[in-house]
Amino acid sequence: MVPRIINALKAEVPDCDIELVLGSNADLEDKLQAGDIDAALICVHELGRRRHRIVKTLFDDEIHFARAADSVPHSSAPVDLRRYDGEPFVLLSQDFSTGRDSYRMFLEAGITPRVALRANDIFTLTSLVKGGVGHALLPKRIDDIYPGALAFSRVAENQRVIQTIGLCYLKSRRADERIAALEKAAIAVTS
């Protein structure tokens, strides 16, 4: 999705200088507030509404139970996380929305995960799960990046978390033609 947004933005504003900055929600929110970045594509479902920020909701994505694709036969039945109490999990730090959402799901299931390893980015985490280090709770959109690398299963309804992804920028930047073009590109790509 991000490359498609960048290409759409470049088509609209060819001389736009783009620097892609990766980080946790917390890092990107701080950089946005400080003016170090112009906009952020982040999870917005847990953002507090602030008067100085504009948030454009783009799409929702459900967190799934993920394991190495070759670890067990796939089943379409929802996974009850209680069955995995004591099993190894690879987790993101709680600076990341997916890390916080994972702990929220464990809390709903009433279990404490056995943390096999912590990763500082979702791409490393995905590689660790693919390598069999442990299970993870990941947004389904990861399957688009690494198709077939992991087996994704929905979790039991009472344990599910939906992430809302959105574009955020400061209200003081809303008249900036590059921000308007970025918003237009993001909405077009995700619609």
Whether residues 151 and 168 share a domain: the answer is: no
Res. 183: pLDDT tops 70: yes
Domain range for 76 is 61-162
Report the number of distinct structural domains present in the chain. Answer: 2
Summarised one tens digit per residue, pLDDT across range 92-122 is 988 889 999 999 999 999 999 999 999 988 8
d(Cα 57, Cα 153) in Å, to the nearest integer?
25
The single-letter code of the amino acid at 2 is: V
Cα 96 to Cα 23: distance, rounded to the nearest angstrom: 8
If you average pLDDT over residues 73-77, what whole number do you get?
73
Same domain for 47 and 66, yes or no, is no
Closest C-alpha to 73, from 143, 153, 131, 132: 153
How far is 106 from 157, CA to CA, in rounded Å? 13
Query: At 158, which CATH number?
Result: 3.40.190.290
Same domain, 96 and 144: yes
Q: Do 154 and 175 share a domain, yes or no? A: no
Asked if residue 84 and residue 13 are part of one domain, the reply reads no
Q: What pLDDT score was predicted for residue 156?
A: 96
Question: Quick one: 54 and 68 in the same domain?
Answer: no
Statement: the pTM of the whole predicted model exceeds 0.75: yes
In whole angstroms, give the CA distance from residue 145 to residue 33: 29
Residues 99 and 128 reside in one and the same domain: yes
pLDDT > 70 fraction of the chain, expressed in percent and rounded? 96
> Could you tell me the pLDDT band of residue 167, with boundaries at 50, 70 and 90?
very high
pLDDT digits (tens, 9 = 90+) for 23-68: 888 899 899 989 999 999 999 877 766 678 899 999 999 999 999 9
Question: Do residue 140 and residue 126 come from a single domain?
Answer: yes
Q: Which residue from 151, 168, 127 is spatially nearest to 39, judged by alpha carbons?
A: 168
pLDDT in tens, 115-162: 999 998 888 999 999 999 999 999 998 888 878 889 999 999 999 999
Residue 148 makes CB contacts below 8 A (sequence gap 6+) with 69
Mean pLDDT on 6-21:
91
Residue 135 and residue 181 share a domain: no
Residues 84, 146, single domain; the answer is yes
Distance CA 61, CA 165 (A): 8
Domain harbouring 29, CATH code: 3.40.190.10
